[in-house]
Amino acid sequence: MVSAGSLKAAALLSLATSGVLGRSVLSEYRRDTAPSEFKLAGPAIPDTPLTLKIALTQSNPSGLENVLYDVSTPSSPNYGKHLSKAEAAAYVAPTSETASTVNSWFQQNEINFTNLTPAGDWISIQTTVGHANELFGANYNVYVHGTTGKQVLRTLEYSVPEELTSHVTVVHPTVMFPKFSALSPAFATQQKERQQAPADNLIAAACGSTVTPACLQSLYGIPATPATEPSNTLGVTGYFDEWANKADLESFLSQYRTDMSPSTTYSLEALDGGSDPQDIDEAGSEADLDIQYTVGIATDVPVIFISVGESNNDGDLDGSLDTIIYLLNQDSPPQVITTSYGDWETDVDQGMAVNLCNAYAQLGARGVSIMFASGDGGVSGIQSISCTTFVPDFPAGCPYITSVGGTTGTNPETGVYFSGGGFSNYWARPFYQSTAVPEYLEYLGATYAGLYNAYGRGFPDVAAQAVHFAIVTNGSTVSASGTSCASPTFASVISLLNDELIAAGRPPLGLLNPWLYAVAAFALTDVTSGNNPGCNTTGFSATTGWDPVTGLGTPIYPKLKTAAGL
Any idea which residues carry the catalytic annotation?
286, 290, 484
Distance (Å, rounded) from C-alpha 493 to C-alpha 297? 8
Distance (Å, rounded) from C-alpha 503 to C-alpha 47? 56
DSSP letter for each residue of 30-67? -SSSS-TTEEEEEEPPTT-EEEEEEEEPPS-HHHHHHH
Residue 511, CB-side half-sphere exposure with 13 Å CA sphere: 34
In the chain, how many H helices and how many E strands? Answer: 13, 28
Distance (Å, rounded) from C-alpha 386 to C-alpha 4? 14
Asked if 243 and 277 touch (Cβ cutoff 8 Å), the reply is yes
- The one-letter amino acid code at 239 reads Y
CA distances from residue 251 to 223, 261, 295, 307, 479 in whole angstroms, order as listed: 22, 11, 13, 21, 15
In the three-class reduction of DSSP (H, G, I as helix; E, B as strand; rest coil), residue 243 is classed as coil
Asked if 82 and 367 touch (Cβ cutoff 8 Å), the reply is yes
* Neighbouring C-beta atoms of residue 558, cutoff 10 Å: 14
Asked if 311 and 271 touch (Cβ cutoff 8 Å), the reply is no
Residue 434, judged by CB atoms within 10 A of its CB (0-12, 13-18, 19+), counts as: exposed
DSSP letter for each residue of 296-361? TTSTT--EEEEEE--TT--HHHHHHHHHHHHHHH-SS--SEEEE---EEGGGS-HHHHHHHHHHHH
In the three-class reduction of DSSP (H, G, I as helix; E, B as strand; rest coil), residue 482 is classed as coil
420, 421, 423, 433: which is closest to 454 by C-alpha?
Answer: 423
For 369, phi then psi, to 5°, come to -95, 120
In the three-class reduction of DSSP (H, G, I as helix; E, B as strand; rest coil), residue 26 is classed as strand
Distance (Å, rounded) from C-alpha 74 to C-alpha 502? 17
CA distances from residue 213 to 216, 254, 294, 394 in whole angstroms, order as listed: 5, 12, 10, 28
